[in-house]
Structure 1
């Protein structure tokens, strides 16, 4: 497993508290990069005015800093492409009961 895959697995531990599904299966994580012990995450939220913004972004930073013992985590929160339910993984759809 390379570092980007390891980071993705760690991010499966960060949940959208309103939906009860992790941010990877929800389709919020667009890109993961790891270079020279620096972590870069490109992600979105379900809506620009998401009330869980601080909770979710804070959870990403906390998990990565805690588990990887680094302070060099950058999160780029983007709104394009716009998130849609089609981005939810099969596992996520199963959790939400979506067919």
Structure 2
């Protein structure tokens, strides 16, 4: 049975960019979430290709997703296309960072 999409998004919201202290979902870093049976495939990006905390955020995403009921394996793939821009941020993230 595939994991609930809402539970997967909630799990990813626990993963924060340690430099900005905002979760990866509200930052707009998560491009896709697909589940099949007990596996989840996620494509996400970074605010910058040279982001020094990128590997840490990817590991945190895998750990968070694998805690979701029904998920035995999370595959988190880093993509750089399309490049991230502040336009992808949620209103909550914009408010939190003071970005208008």
Is TM > 0.5 for Structure 1 vs Structure 2? yes
Q: Which moved more, 1:59-68 or 1:14-23?
A: 59-68
Structure 1 partner of 2:40? 39
Where does structure 1 lack aligned partners over 5 or more consecutive residues? Answer: none
Give the whole-Å Cα distance in 2 for the aligned partners of 1:95 and 1:33. 28
* Residue correspondences, number: 98
Structure 2 partner of 1:23? 24
Structure 1 partner of 2:55? 54
Structure 1 partner of 2:96? 95
Where does structure 2 lack aligned partners over 5 or more consecutive residues? Answer: none
Residue 68 of structure 1: how far off its partner (Å) = 3.3
Normalized against structure 1, the TM-score is what?
Answer: 0.91
Residue 12 of structure 1: how far off its partner (Å) = 0.5
Question: After the TM superposition, which segments of 4 or more aligned residues of structure 1 sit over 6 Å from their partners?
Answer: none
Q: Deviations over 1:48-73 (max 9, x none)?
A: 11100111001101111234364411
Give the whole-Å Cα distance in 2 for the aligned partners of 1:68 and 1:52. 27
**RMSD of Structure 2 on Structure 1 (CA):** 1.5
Q: Deviations over 1:7-38 (max 9, x none)?
A: 01111100000001000000000000111111
Give the whole-Å Cα distance in 1 for the aligned partners of 2:62 and 2:12. 10
